[in-house]
């Protein structure tokens, strides 16, 4: 099994949680006489189901909130191609001070290759046993999760969002009710807390917008941390800033913001520590993608290692 990708802990916690229970756990009465929860989840699954292929361009900005005020510490540009089986991700990251790197990840239908482009002094390679395993090798990081989830079934052969929610917990949801996100009418689904592998618990809250094809307008993950460390609780909030409706059957954020909060254990005060802003600058779907997009010939000097091995010294995975 490939090694876990080096991604921020607030995202890794969400990705590492077990998803092992069935839909019977989420039986619920309709919210204020509205549709039953099962109906809302089924409609969530339909958002993105019309997508078969596409090309997206995104840009992102990572902002740290320091004592002296907010400061941009990283910018990124991402290009994504997919055709329902194959995937190509090109990611350029520029950090404070001007240091930049480019990583390519290509799945040609049989194997995944990832490495620093265009010279490829090294590359990692892996072969998914099933297409549903592709997410273990390929990430579409740089997206806000509200952008990722509607596209992951087409890009990474992942389960749609409604199924993901159903499998979250064996316990019924703590809340299913009408609650707006800003001025947008939504259904709030708050799932029961789930134990984390390292201790503590995590709770998901989702604001589902019927007017936007039952896409998520807002997502919150709250983690209660064990022990005596300085941080007792973290909160991750993803919020749609601007919508796009590129085709029937798909509502997607054009712009979204992810905000991260830490709560100090000694004072109980919550503080905004960072934001990640993401914007779709171009998007076309259900297109014919040329085969050459998914071809990647490595130079002869490239050192190739399996995904379950460490990258070479000095190597850094995006």
Q: Which domains does the chain have, with CATH numbers?
A: 19-306 (2.50.20.10)
Cα dihedral 28, 16, 196, 208 in deg (nearest 10): -30
Which of 148-152, 208-212, 264-268 is most confident?
A: 208-212
**Mean pLDDT computed over 288-306:** 95
Collapse the DSSP code of 177 into the 3-class scheme (helix H, G, I; strand E, B; otherwise coil) and give the result.
Answer: strand
d(CA 249, CA 143): 20
d(CA 285, CA 50): 9
Return the structure tokens found at 18: 């077990």
Query: CA–CA distance from 177 to each of 39, 114, 186 (Å)?
Result: 14, 43, 9
Residues 173/26, Cβ–Cβ less than 8 Å: yes
Collapse the DSSP code of 232 into the 3-class scheme (helix H, G, I; strand E, B; otherwise coil) and give the result.
Answer: strand
92 strand-pairing partners:
77, 102
**Mean pLDDT computed over 155-173:** 86
Query: CA–CA distance from 108 to each of 83, 128, 171, 274 (Å)?
Result: 10, 11, 40, 36
Question: 312 pLDDT band (50/70/90 cuts)?
Answer: low
Asked whether residue 3 carries a pLDDT value surpassing 50, the answer given is no
What confidence score (pLDDT) does residue 7 get?
A: 37
d(CA 47, CA 55): 18
CA 146 remoteness from chain centre: 7
> What's the pLDDT tens digit per position in 64-93?
998 888 899 999 999 999 999 999 999 999
What confidence score (pLDDT) does residue 32 get?
A: 54
**Mean pLDDT computed over 229-234:** 85
d(CA 273, CA 2): 31
**Mean pLDDT computed over 13-34:** 43
The 8-class DSSP code of residue 32 comes to G
Asked whether residue 5 carries a pLDDT value surpassing 80, the answer given is no
pLDDT cut 90: percent of the chain above it: 62
Which of 5-14, 96-105, 222-231 is most confident?
A: 96-105
What value does the mean pLDDT of the chain take?
Answer: 85
CB atoms within 10 A of CB 310: 10
Asked whether residue 6 carries a pLDDT value surpassing 70, the answer given is no
What confidence score (pLDDT) does residue 14 get?
A: 39
pLDDT cut 70: percent of the chain above it: 86
Return the structure tokens found at 281: 């600058």
């Amino acid at each position: 099994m490939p090694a876990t990708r080096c991604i921020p802990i607030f995202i890794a916690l969400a990705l590492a949680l077990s998803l092992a229970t069935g839909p019977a756990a989420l039986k619920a009465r309709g919210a204020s006489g509205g549709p039953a929860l099962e109906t809302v989840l089924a409609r969530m699954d339909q958002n993105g189901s019309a997508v078969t292929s596409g090309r997206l361009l995104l840009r992102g900005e990572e902002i740290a909130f320091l004592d002296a005020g907010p400061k941009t510490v990283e910018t990124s540009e991402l290009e994504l191609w997919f055709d329902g089986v194959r995937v190509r991700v090109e990611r350029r990251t520029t950090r404070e001070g001007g240091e930049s790197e480019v990583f390519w990840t290509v799945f040609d239908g049989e194997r995944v290759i990832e490495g620093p482009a265009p010279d490829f002094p090294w590359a990692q390679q892996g072969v998914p046993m099933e297409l549903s395993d592709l997410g273990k090798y390929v990430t579409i990081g740089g997206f806000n999760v509200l952008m990722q989830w509607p596209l992951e079934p087409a890009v990474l052969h992942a389960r749609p969002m409604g199924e993901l929610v159903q499998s979250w917990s064996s316990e019924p949801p703590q809340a299913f009710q009408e609650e707006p996100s800003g001025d947008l009418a939504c259904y709030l689904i708050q799932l029961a807390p789930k134990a984390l592998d390292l201790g503590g618990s995590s709770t998901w809250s989702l604001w589902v917008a019927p007017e936007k094809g039952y896409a998520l307008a807002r997502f919150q993950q709250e983690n209660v941390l064990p022990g005596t460390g300085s941080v007792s609780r973290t909160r991750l909030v993803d919020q749609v800033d601007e919508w796009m409706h590129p085709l029937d059957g798909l509502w997607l954020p054009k712009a979204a913001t992810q905000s991260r909060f830490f709560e100090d254990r000694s004072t109980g005060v919550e503080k905004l520590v960072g934001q990640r802003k993401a914007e779709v600058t171009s998007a076309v779907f259900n297109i014919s993608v040329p085969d050459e997009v998914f071809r990647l010939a490595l130079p002869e000097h490239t050192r190739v290692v399996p995904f379950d091995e460490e990258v070479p010294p000095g190597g850094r995975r995006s």
